[in-house]
């Protein structure tokens, strides 16, 4: 009998261990490559939206309060006139408004006249807009940077948060399927 066959099967499997460990580590790292550490998971998912009552931004539109959320699934968008990515996503927001999806806005730490100019220049896609002057409502939502967009269900619970600029692509892949699932569970 050749000498290598004397090694018991258990011992020989042990030699596979480094290979298995390497593959496990390599696949963990490979998965990590596609992970963006700046995108945080929201701690508010499935919690009821926080209480707030914000004054109006536009003269022709009421402000926004907690009572306006719920009833039907809707989008809550945090924006600011000083925020460049907010300008980038504004076209997508106008598209959302045109397609009839309920969308409300919260101007984050913005000056009233700046927010008014912003919406006057780029279009006002919101059914209601509130001014969060001190940013406390945003903190209660768990906002860590504008723009952020939340899906609130008909019970007024936060179901999804998208941090960053909305694009038509993001809308199609991340937002619309979730809204549809909430509309027709």
Partner 1 sequence: MIRRALLGLLLALTLTGPAWAVNPDERLADPVLEARARTLGKSLRCLVCQNQSIDDSNADLAHDLRVLVRERLSAGDSDAQVLAFLQARYGDYVLLKPPVDPATWVLWFGPAAVLAIGVGVLVVRRRPVPAAPAPLTPEERARLDLLMAGGDE
- By CB under 8 A, name the binding residues for partner 1: 37-38, 40-44, 47, 109, 134-136, 139-142, 144-145
Q: How far is the CB of 51 from partner 1 (least distance, A)?
A: 13
* C-beta closer to partner 1: residue 45 or 97: 45
CB of 43 to partner 1, least distance (A): 3
For partner 1, the closer CB: 72 or 136: 136
Cis, peptide link before residue 147, omega less than 30° from 0? yes
67-70 contacts, C-beta under 8 A, 24 or more apart: 68/104, 68/128, 69/104, 69/152, 69/156, 70/152, 70/153, 70/154, 70/155, 70/156
Nearer to partner 1, 102 or 142 (CB): 142
Least distance in angstroms from the C-beta of 172 to partner 1 = 28
| 35, 140, 72, 183 alpha-carbon torsion, rounded to 10° | 20
Nearer to partner 1, 39 or 181 (CB): 39
Contact 142, 44 (CB under 8 A): yes
Closer residue to partner 1 in complex, CB, 94/114: 114
DSSP, res 171: I
CB 24, min distance to partner 1, A: 13
User: In the complex, what is the shortest distance from the CB of residue 148 to partner 1, in angstroms, rounded to a whole number?
Assistant: 11
């Amino acid at each position: 009998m050749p000498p290598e066959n004397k090694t018991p099967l258990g011992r020989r499997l042990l030699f596979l261990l480094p290979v298995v460990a390497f593959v496990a580590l390599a696949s963990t790292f490979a998965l990590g490559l596609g992970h963006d550490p700046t995108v945080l998971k929201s701690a508010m998912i499935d919690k009821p939206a926080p209480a707030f009552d914000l004054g109006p931004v536009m003269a022709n539109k009421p402000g926004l309060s907690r009572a306006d959320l719920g009833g039907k699934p809707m989008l809550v968008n945090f924006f600011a006139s000083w925020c460049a990515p907010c300008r980038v996503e504004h076209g997508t927001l106008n598209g959302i408004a045109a397609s009839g999806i309920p969308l409300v806005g919260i101007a984050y730490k913005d000056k009233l006249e700046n927010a008014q100019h912003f919406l006057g220049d780029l279009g006002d896609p919101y059914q209601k807009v509130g001014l969060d002057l001190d940013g406390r409502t945003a903190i209660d939502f768990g906002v860590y940077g504008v723009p952020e967009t939340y899906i609130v269900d008909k019970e007024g619970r936060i179901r999804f948060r998208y941090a960053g600029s909305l694009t038509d692509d993001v809308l199609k892949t991340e937002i619309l399927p979730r809204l549809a699932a909430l509309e027709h569970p």
